[in-house]
Amino acid sequence: MACLIQGFVTNGMAPIMAEQVHNKEKQRLWVKFSQLPATLIIGGILVGFLLCIALLSFVWTPYDPIAMNVRDRYLPIGSEGYLLGTDRFGRDVLTQIIMGARNSLFVSIISTLVSLMIGTLLGLYVAAAGGRIQNIISRTIDVGVAIPGILVAMVLATAIGPGNLAAITAIIIWFIPVAARVVIGPAVQVLSQDYIEAAFGYGRKKWFVLFNHVLPNISSTIIVQASVMFAAAILIEAALSFLGVGAQSPIASWGRTLKEAQPLMEIAPSLMVVPGLAIVLAVLGFNLLGDGLRAYLDPQQTRKR
């Protein structure tokens, strides 16, 4: 009898307890989430949204991006069937923006990753070299940082022809010295620690120490730098295509959409506002993400949690 009652009780209790546990876990997750910096959350949402849209464009866009519809030219925002209106050829602006997001992210991600990789390797090498080599290369890097990137892009565009390749190459050349300079400082500081000397003392090779001990310790710097670079790359890509150096028609690009809208400012101001807003939101998203990551990865913050 007692057994029966117990069985009944436990059976009855089990789902309630499981639910409580589940709720507690949910609560804990929520607490963890709510402790994240607000900038990180907002930035993450903006960037995530942008990424989703760019990926979506591979499978679906509202309209064919190059299909013209002469009857429906210059439709305003909120027209039936055209959420963001149409441009002077009657193309759907929303489709243009979505395709532009794809191009913008493509250029900025490729160029940022490549320049970060090369810049980090260069920075690590310089930090470990020390002495005269370090001096010479870091001064050269400083000179590299001082060269205006737009100028490099212009020269490249005339040399290899305008297009995404020219834009990507220009941004990479522009960013390598920036990335290297960001890496050198923290790397030198980490290299002066006793555990680095111990690793060398045990007979570890230079690049082993650099990858296994130095790189993990400066990773937060690099991650934050990456998000800042993404934002800058989006802006530069837009500027280059605005100047006619970047992506060429018919590849959609925010900068070119903006440029094409410029002479039509008085007829259809929304054509200019929309791509401008897209650029602003994308840059804002990456910058907020960078700021949030900086706060989140700050070692002192981490220690407090």
Site string for other proteins, 230-269 (x = CB under 8 A): ----------------------------------------
To other proteins, the closest distance from the beta carbon of 211 in angstroms equals 12
Q: Does 189 bind other proteins (CB under 8 A)?
A: no
Report the distance separating Cα 212 and Cα 205, nearest Å.
11
Q: Does 134 bind other proteins (CB under 8 A)?
A: no
To other proteins, the closest distance from the beta carbon of 204 in angstroms equals 9
Site string for other proteins, 140-179 (x = CB under 8 A): ----------------------------------------
Angle (nearest 5°) at CA 141 between 140 and 144: 90
DSSP string, 119-180: HHHHHHHHHHH-HHHHHHHHHHHHHHHHS-HHHHHHHHHHHH-SSHHHHHHHHHHHHHHHHH
Taking alpha carbons only, the member of 125, 140, 142, 136 closest to residue 191 is 125
Please give the DSSP secondary-structure letter assigned to residue 210.
Answer: I
On the CB side of 273, CA atoms within 13 Å amount to 10
Q: Does 15 bind other proteins (CB under 8 A)?
A: no
- CB neighbour class for 103 (10 Å; exposed up to 12, middle 13-18, buried from 19): buried
Q: Does 304 bind other proteins (CB under 8 A)?
A: no
Q: 282 to 301, contacts with other proteins by CB under 8 A?
A: 299
To other proteins, the closest distance from the beta carbon of 303 in angstroms equals 6
Q: 200 to 229, contacts with other proteins by CB under 8 A?
A: 201-203, 213, 216-217, 219
Nearer to other proteins, 201 or 250 (CB): 201
To other proteins, the closest distance from the beta carbon of 215 in angstroms equals 9
Q: Does 305 bind other proteins (CB under 8 A)?
A: no
Please give the DSSP secondary-structure letter assigned to residue 86.
Answer: B
Residue type, 29: L
Please name the residues in contact with 78: beta carbons below 8 A apart, sequence gap of 6 or more.
85
Residue 82's SS3 state is: strand
Going from the C-alpha of 299 to that of each of 220, 227, 291, 304, the distances in angstroms are: 9, 18, 14, 9
| Cβ 218 vs Cβ 270: under 8 Å | no
Task: Kindly tell me which residue out of 8, 30, 195, 208 binds other proteins, with binding defined by CB under 8 A.
Answer: 195
Task: Measure the CA dihedral 236/242/247/252, to 10°.
Answer: 110
To other proteins, the closest distance from the beta carbon of 298 in angstroms equals 13
To other proteins, the closest distance from the beta carbon of 127 in angstroms equals 16
To other proteins, the closest distance from the beta carbon of 202 in angstroms equals 5
Nearer to other proteins, 178 or 214 (CB): 214
Nearer to other proteins, 148 or 201 (CB): 201
Which range in 65-73, 100-108, 189-197, 288-296 contacts other proteins by CB under 8 A? 189-197
Interface positions with other proteins (CB under 8 A): 193-195, 197-198, 201-203, 213, 216-217, 219, 299, 302-303
